[in-house]
Amino acid sequence: MLTSYPAALAGAPRRAITLPRSLTWLAALAYSAGLLTAALLSGSPKALAATALLVGLTAVFVVRPLWGVVSVLLVHQSADLWADGQFDSLAGLKLNLTTGITLMIVVVGGAYVVENWRSARRAPSLWPFIALTALAVVSLVNTPSVTLGVTDVMRLAQIGVLYALVYSLVRSRRDIELIVAALLIAVLGVIGVAIEQTINAERSSLGMFQFDRATGGFPGPDALGIVLGVLLCFAIPFALGTRLVWRWLLVAWIAVAGVALVGSYTRTGWLTLIVGLLVIGVVRYRILLILIPVTLAVVVLAVPSTVQRFNDLNQDPAHEGHYGNTFSQRLSLWRTNLPKVNQSPVIGHGFASIGEQEGSLTHSDYVRTVVETGILGLLAFLALLASGVGGAIGAVRRTNRLSDDRVLLATAVGGLGVAVVYVLASADSNLLTKTVMNGAVWTLVALAHSTSRLAAD
């Protein structure tokens, strides 16, 4: 007979995590030695400080893999904001904290996944990740910038390895709570900055526009809106469906994150969150079908300018002093780039080719994959999206049938909502190689997929 949730929480059984073996240790030593050598050659104090942090994270991972992943999640949000800066350069290679984390996850985390292949290969989205990454590598023969192309391939590989690590390492509901808490804590600084920007309306880069949009420290407000939309889509059902000791802290997080999301004025973040929560409401938590329209009415009455953000769709494209109809700009980018598929339909023009040739991204992962990796790449990307949604649906069904654990069910349902948000947001956003945004998505989807195994146990 299944144990009731309170009793199970007091003494929940858990499988032992497989500790790293020789391959992971060798990868960790090689990575640490290479990193230290590069830092010494650069002679940069900042590079040496970053190396110390990265070697420390690596040490934590080889001793306690789950805590290593949690540590990376805690610092990754802040580290990604440094992606456009650098400590120093070595032989033309830009050294920064994000690059170091990417290499750590791919090299050391990848070695651990190989050692635990029997467990990792059961992850529903692993093979689509492998296929898409392999096609991205093949496409590099056509890319106009090998450096940028390799960097983007490494970021894509990082997200795939992170997904496999989370799926393999989660062995109990406590592990789920730990990873969720890490993701939510990591973004607190960003939320604080966004709220301060929203209240004081001080924007150094975007203040000339009619909407003073909060960025939270990101290069643009869209990234902030999408990250918060993804995390809220998971946090809300997690708060509704569980009886966690820290549930009221979670409710407080939802409140402040909601304020920051409104301040971002990101239509994609707003709309995809609403759709994701509606799916969650239909599947499990019916109260959301009432709370969503009530909350929308309160937001419209309290912040009337949110309605004006949608009225921009009837205006001209963005120009000085106005955001305008940014969606029309995206349509223009799609019309410009899609015909390129005819020139190289099989393997595409190469990863990072659009940004290099056009000077701007496509604002659509669908358009990007078909242009840069060809039709085969698009099929792999669609398979990845389908595996995320399909694996979450299977987890919801299996968890609902085999377990009465509230945490497992809330995780599966929340992960389904996140997968739906990702499918929609990818249509007009650049998420594919954004390690914080895409990493958060696939970390939460991995948690959802893992509940199927945990429920069976």
> Domain locations in the chain?
19-115, 168-456
Task: Indicate the helix (H) or strand (E) that contains 445.
Answer: helix 435-456
DSSP 126-143: HHHHHHHHHHHHHHTTT-
pLDDT class for 312, splitting at 50, 70, 90? low
3-state SS assignment for residue 95: strand
Q: Look at 147 and 390; give whichever has higher pLDDT.
A: 390
Q: Look at 7 and 272; give whichever has higher pLDDT.
A: 272
Q: Look at 129 and 339; give whichever has higher pLDDT.
A: 129
Helices and strands per DSSP (H, E), number in the chain: 21, 2
- Return the number of other C-beta atoms located less than 10 Å from residue 367's C-beta: 25
pLDDT class for 436, splitting at 50, 70, 90? confident
Determine the length of the chain: 457
Query: pLDDT value at position 47?
Result: 78
Query: pLDDT value at position 295?
Result: 92
3-state SS assignment for residue 292: helix
pLDDT class for 205, splitting at 50, 70, 90? very low
pLDDT class for 10, splitting at 50, 70, 90? very low
Query: pLDDT value at position 2?
Result: 36
Query: pLDDT value at position 95?
Result: 62
Strand partners, 95: 88
Instruction: Report yes or no: 445 and 392 within 8 Å, Cβ to Cβ.
Output: yes
Dihedrals phi, psi of 88, to nearest 5 degrees: -165, 180
Instruction: Report yes or no: 179 and 70 within 8 Å, Cβ to Cβ.
Output: yes
What are the Cα distances from residue 398, in Å, to 192, 395, 410?
Answer: 38, 5, 13
Running DSSP on this structure, what letter comes out for residue 2?
A: P
Q: Look at 12-16, 234-238, 331-335 and tell me which has the smallest mean pLDDT.
A: 12-16
**Residue 219 corresponds to which tokens in the numbers above?**
């290069």
**Residue 160 corresponds to which tokens in the numbers above?**
């795939």
The C-alpha atoms of residue 425 and residue 270 are separated, in whole angstroms, by: 10
Mean pLDDT, rounded, of the chain: 84
**Burial level of 247, CB count in 10 A (0-12/13-18/19+)?**
middle
Q: Look at 13-22, 51-60, 253-262, 386-395 and tell me which has the smallest mean pLDDT.
A: 13-22
3-state SS assignment for residue 91: coil
Query: pLDDT value at position 365?
Result: 93
Query: pLDDT value at position 311?
Result: 61
Mean pLDDT along residues 7-17: 47
pLDDT class for 362, splitting at 50, 70, 90? confident
**C-alpha closest to that of 237 among 268, 276, 271:** 276
Query: pLDDT value at position 266?
Result: 87
Mean pLDDT along residues 107-112: 96
**C-alpha closest to that of 152 among 330, 362, 346, 344:** 362
Mean pLDDT along residues 223-229: 91
**C-alpha closest to that of 169 among 116, 234, 130, 102:** 116
Instruction: Report yes or no: 178 and 385 within 8 Å, Cβ to Cβ.
Output: no
CA 258 from chain centre, in angstroms, equals 18
**Residue 315 corresponds to which tokens in the numbers above?**
């205006």
Q: What is the reported pTM?
A: 0.89
3-state SS assignment for residue 322: strand
Query: pLDDT value at position 334?
Result: 80
